[in-house]
Structure 1
Amino acid sequence: MEIRSDDGARVRIRPVGYQPGIEPPDDPGRAAPGWHDWLLIEVDARTADGQTWSHHYPSLMVEEARALGGWLRGQAKAAVAPSQAPALVRFTEPNLALRTRMIRRRRLELTVEFSAESLPPWMRRPSTAVYPLVLTVSADVLAVAAAHWAEHVEAYPPRMASRFPVRNPLLGPVTHPRRAG
């Protein structure tokens, strides 16, 4: 998906494959949910003043990627009510987070927060660093991006769904704190 801001900033985010080299745990019965479902996410970003960076990192689990499409759709629909409270979505891997703030009817500010391996190369990298890329968009632009995201993610079903239960994607993306390590 690609989301372009009114001021020229933009972000492209897309899944490009499963994380390679993931080995099954010794005891599958005690495996953490999603150990087998990490997606490589390619991000290409540009600030309003023209600075660019990109990265390629296993940032989302399959179920989180699927839930992100629903979250984006929900935010586009919510933009009809400017009194809507700001919303935030975080994931298991802390590289990306997204938040929205309604500006006025059908207009919103989408902030894509980059951290850890996803930070722009010109930024210092303390463990708490976050780079917010602010995009001002219409609800229609966000709805189109959500549809494109859903199309991209459809190509990546959970790899081991028959061996391990998958959490209900209707519950939304994971909102866990940062993982240790």
Structure 2
Amino acid sequence: MEIRSDDGARVRMRPVGYQPGIDPPDDPDRAAPGWHDWLLVEVDARTADGQTWSHHYPSLMVEEARALGGWLHGQATAALGLSAPPALVRFTEPNLALRTRVLRRRRLELIVEFSAESLPPWMRRPSSAIYPLILTVSADALATAAEQWAEHCEAYPPRAPSRFPAKDPYSGPLNHPRRAG
């Protein structure tokens, strides 16, 4: 998926495969504790002033990646109104997080927070460092990105049983995002 900001900043993200060297258990019911399906996620980012960086890292579990599409779609839908509260979503691997805040009807601010292995190379890397890439986008553009992300994720079905029982098309760990304060 690609999300472009009004000011020229952008982020491209796509899953590119399962984490290499991690084979699914023969019997998912007897999987070792902590075993998960990790997806390699390729990220290419550009700031409004033209600085770019990219990385390729196992950032999301399959179920998190699939649920992210639903979360993005939900945020695009929330931007159709005026009173949607800010939302935040974090993942098991803490190198990516996303925040949204509605600016006005049909416009929102999406902040992609990079940390750890995902930081831009020009930043020092203390364990608490976060680089926020701020994107101002339309609800329609975010909905399109959500669809693109969901299409990318279809190529990577879970190889282990989900930790989150399916309830609806957008079920999973991101179905009920924490609200930002």
TM-score (norm 1): 0.88
Partner of 2:22: 22
Partner of 1:3: 3
Q: d(CA) in 2 for partners of 1:36 and 1:91? A: 13
Q: How does 1:28-47 map to 2 (within 5 A)?
A: 29=30, 31-32=32-33, 35-47=35-47
Q: CA deviation at 1:97?
A: 0.3
Partner of 1:92: 92
Partner of 2:165: 168
Partner of 2:59: 59
Long gaps (5+) in structure 2: none
Q: d(CA) in 2 for partners of 1:141 and 1:103? A: 15
Tell whether 2:106 aligns with 1:106: yes
| Displaced runs of 4 or more, over 6 A | none
Q: CA deviation at 1:82?
A: 1.8
Alpha-carbon RMSD: 2.1
SS at match of 1:76: helix
Partner of 2:122: 122
Q: How many aligned residue pairs are there? A: 171
Q: CA deviation at 1:23?
A: 5.2
Identity of aligned residues (%): 77
Q: d(CA) in 1 for partners of 2:37 and 2:16? A: 13
Tell whether 2:146 aligns with 1:146: yes
Long gaps (5+) in structure 1: 177-181
SS at match of 1:109: strand
The amino acid that maps onto 2:98 is: L
Q: d(CA) in 2 for partners of 1:24 and 1:171? A: 20
Q: d(CA) in 2 for partners of 1:154 and 1:45? A: 23
Q: CA deviation at 1:36?
A: 3.6
Q: CA deviation at 1:171?
A: 3.5
SS at match of 1:168: coil
Q: d(CA) in 1 for partners of 2:15 and 2:46? A: 18
SS at match of 2:103: strand
Q: d(CA) in 2 for partners of 1:142 and 1:24? A: 33
The amino acid that maps onto 1:48 is: A
